[in-house]
Amino acid sequence: MGVWLNDPSPEGLCASYGLALRAARAMGSAFEIVAIGSTPCSERAAVSAGLIILNRTPIYWWSRKMILPPIPLEFQIADNDAVFLSSGGPSGKA
pLDDT tens string 31-83: 777 777 778 888 899 899 998 888 887 777 777 877 766 666 565 555 666 65
pLDDT of residue 15: 92
Distance separating alpha carbons of residues 89 and 60, to the nearest angstrom = 29
| Type of residue at 71 | I
Distance separating alpha carbons of residues 1 and 77, to the nearest angstrom = 10
pLDDT of residue 32: 79
Residue 15 maps to a domain: yes
pLDDT of residue 11: 92
pLDDT tens string 17-32: 898 888 888 888 877 7
Structurally, how many domains does the chain consist of?
Answer: 1
Of 74, 12, 21, which Cα lies nearest the Cα of 44?
12
Residue 21 maps to a domain: yes
Residue 62 maps to a domain: yes
Q: Which domain holds residue 17?
A: 10-85
Residue 40 maps to a domain: yes
Residue 36 maps to a domain: yes
Residue 1 maps to a domain: no
pTM of the complete model? 0.61
